[in-house]
Chains A and B, each alone.
Chain A
Amino acid sequence: MNKNFKTIMWLAVALLGAFAVAGIALNRGESINALWIITAAVCVYAIGYRFYSAWIAARVLVIDETRATPAERLDNGRDFVPTNKWIVFGHHFAAIAGPGPLIGPTLAAQFGYLPGTLWILIGAVLGGAVQDMVILFFSTRRNGRSLGQMARDEIGAIGGTAALIGTFLIMIILIAVLGLVVVNAMKHSPWATSTVAATIPIAMIVGIYMRNIRPGRVLEASIIGVVLLLLSVWGGGWISDHETLRTWFDHDGLPLAYAIIVYGFAAAVLPVWLLLAPRDYLSTFMKLGTILLLAIAIVILRPEIHMPAVTQFVDGTGPIFGGKLFPFVFITIACGAISGFHALIASGTTPKLLTNERDIRMIGYGGMLLESFVAIMAMIAATVLEPGIFFAINSPAGVVGKEAVDAIAKINSWGFAVTVEQMQQLAKDMGESTLFARTGGAPSLAVGMASIFGSAFGKHLLALWYHFAIMFEAIFILTTLDAGTRVGRFMLQDMLGNFNKKLGETSYMPSVVFTSSVVVAGWGYFLYIGVIDPNGGVNILWPLFGIANQMLAAIALCVATGILVKSGKLKYAWVTALPLLWLVIVTTTAAYQKVFSSDIRVGFLAAADDMATKLYSGVLPPEKAAVAPQLIFNQHLDAYLTLFFVVVLWVVIVDMLRLCARYLAGKRVPKLSEVPHEPSRMVEDWVRD
């Protein structure tokens, strides 16, 4: 292509992007079309990828195409395998894209569509995608070492231990909040509960098929599984209409939480091939398929966004979670903008598959952009709902009241129009008894997706689309829950192995049962508290998860900044140091407010004091008084946990700064652990079959 033409084309993309961003930012009319947001996103991603990531690859990391990757040097046909870049991209994306980018934006939509959208775009292009790409690069240069190992080798033992503990705790909180989201979607919904329950035997059938009937025939088994899943969505509707069968699946939150806890334990102890692996295949297929379908539906339908650009809740009085726009929008949208968890995937599996270093840009940076786009679609699906309906679904009973009339009156008083009849009709359309106070984001996302799918592919199937969306969310939430519990178990066994060799053996049954119990008890506790909390639990758990995830991202960026400085690239260190600085500001402010704020909906200690005062003065109704002591204890625990996260973060930062100062002063620092250069022998055409 002609060089001038290219320049003109990129100028056009830049202008269109600027125009679209300005359009969504300055619009103060009734509504705005979702196409504006899509256009803004695509242009921002294109510019970020074409210029910023290329510059980082060429100047900061100095990617070397002639250098042999670990996959080439250590090829063993199993975990180190040189693989086509599109295949690696697929694996990497399937691994990083979980329920996070769907739930975060939905919750953050309480501030309006604008703040969340801007953070998803800016955060991904300047922060998240940079983190993923840089960590992927450093891990590739170190034979695919994990983030924790890199932290230990490059910064010191303190950094390594902090990364390990951080990962373990974030896993516990993540699983608890995801479990809570599923419980809230299944509460008193026989359709949702029976469909989600059916995914367990379906996964087992698929597992047995792949293992014993036709070993290794992954695609055949997955197709059978997907067909069964779709049948289970339809069958759930039948159960929901059945007089006696429906009572089997109609439960309160607490029994459902216990069921998930038992399930989590079973999944961690059972062999992977029976439940975890087949469920993962199904969830990956459903995930990729549904995201593609949603993208197509949004482009066909071009829905109007009904949520205002910015709502009055930026002042911190939001019903879904308390806290001001700064810092809480940046905490709520963790995945989709920048997610520390990705650093664990980018170091470990993915680097062992790379054929050539040049693929790092597309897989690391590009993979995160695609995940960010998923978050944008979730934001669109949440904001196409009428704001009144959005708040009616997402506001916990503790905030708006238990009765439909009270809730509606409260929401109307905020200036969002919605009626009881409207909500009843909507619940009926979706095949549910009620949609009030279905907190956690999954149900409102499902309503949004159902209305988009319904308008694009046929409205008469709304209830089926709704439960399809619930099943789609539940299946990969449960996959994260299984996989997370298992990873937690391995990590714990690894740690205990330092004290007692026998406990460290991953196949020693008493140790398996013991460590699995500890991990399940950890997240089970937070899940239990989340369910009994009248304010919905999400209000507490999601910010805690966000803080933990951003803390992990900050640790990853610390490692990256430390390595850049040690490699003599001080003048480029801002590439990771600036997002790090921002995350430190956000995480520390959020943690400070979560612990010390006097607003009882934000500060853990204030909430504990308030509840204690009410309990002793006897103004609490009996059912609330019964759970109050546990809630008070939990608020204290959450406060200490938050403090712990911040302390861990600052320890790593100080350690990194000390290291940089020593290096710049010419003192001795741990040597770079990069594997020496070896020329690549690979001929491109030979591997890229």
Chain B
Amino acid sequence: MLKKIKHLWHIIRRLAGDDAYEQYLKHHAEFHQSTVDAPPPLSRKEFFKLWQDDKWKGVKRCC
């Protein structure tokens, strides 16, 4: 039961974009940290700014 609630909470967070930064860090660690002099990941604030601006380019809402 507890596991199911946790899973639901996970889905809600993902849907809302609440965990977007954590997802980004994961992606960054996986793909962009291969070299030593790779740039560090963005801060939460910087990332959120970019993410939100990206999200609102183009048709995002319908009638």
Query: A98–B15 contact, CB under 8 A?
Result: no
Q: How far is the CB of A294 from chain B (nearest CB, A)?
A: 19
Among A75, A95, A174, A545, point to the contact of B60 (Cβ < 8 A). A95
With A273-B52, A339-B63 known as contacts, the answer to whether A218 contacts B31 (CB < 8 A) is no
Complex: how many Å from CA A487 to CA B63? 13
A280 CB contacts on chain B under 8 angstroms: 60-61
A483 CB contacts on chain B under 8 angstroms: 56, 59-61
Query: Nearest residue in B to A348 (C-beta to C-beta)?
Result: B58
Complex: how many Å from CA A619 to CA B51? 60
Complex: how many Å from CA A598 to CA B20? 57
Query: Nearest residue in A to B55 (C-beta to C-beta)?
Result: A277
Query: B62–A84 contact, CB under 8 A?
Result: no
With A78-B50, A219-B18 known as contacts, the answer to whether A95 contacts B61 (CB < 8 A) is yes
Query: A87–B14 contact, CB under 8 A?
Result: yes
Complex: how many Å from CA A349 to CA B59? 8
Query: Nearest residue in A to B45 (C-beta to C-beta)?
Result: A215
A91 within 8 A of B: yes
Q: How far is the CB of B35 from chain A (nearest CB, A)?
A: 17
A640 within 8 A of B: no
Q: How far is the CB of A256 from chain B (nearest CB, A)?
A: 21
**B interface, over-half SS:** helix
B51 CB contacts on chain A under 8 angstroms: 78, 216
Query: B58–A490 contact, CB under 8 A?
Result: yes
Number of residues of chain B lying within 8 A (CB) of chain A: 34
Which residue among A87, A99, A215 has the maximum number of chain B CB atoms within 10 Å of its CB?
A215
Number of residues of chain A lying within 8 A (CB) of chain B: 53
**A interface, over-half SS:** helix
Complex: how many Å from CA A281 to CA B15? 11
B57 within 8 A of A: yes
Q: Residues 52-80 of chain A: 1 if any B CB is under 8 Å from the residue's CB, otherwise 0?
A: 00000000000000000000000101110
Within 31-63 of B, Cβ neighbours of A (below 8 Å) are at: 31, 44-45, 47-63
Query: B15–A345 contact, CB under 8 A?
Result: no
Complex: how many Å from CA A87 to CA B20? 13
With A77-B23, A215-B45, A216-B21 known as contacts, the answer to whether A480 contacts B61 (CB < 8 A) is yes
B28 CB contacts on chain A under 8 angstroms: 77
With A77-B28, A87-B11, A272-B52 known as contacts, the answer to whether A216 contacts B63 (CB < 8 A) is no
A659 within 8 A of B: no
B24 CB contacts on chain A under 8 angstroms: 77-78
A95 CB contacts on chain B under 8 angstroms: 60-62
11 contacts between A and B (CB under 8 A): A98-B61, A215-B44, A215-B45, A218-B20, A219-B18, A335-B63, A341-B62, A483-B61, A486-B56, A490-B57, A490-B58
Known: A87-B15, A215-B48. 6 other contacts (CB 8 A): A81-B27, A96-B62, A100-B62, A216-B48, A276-B56, A487-B60
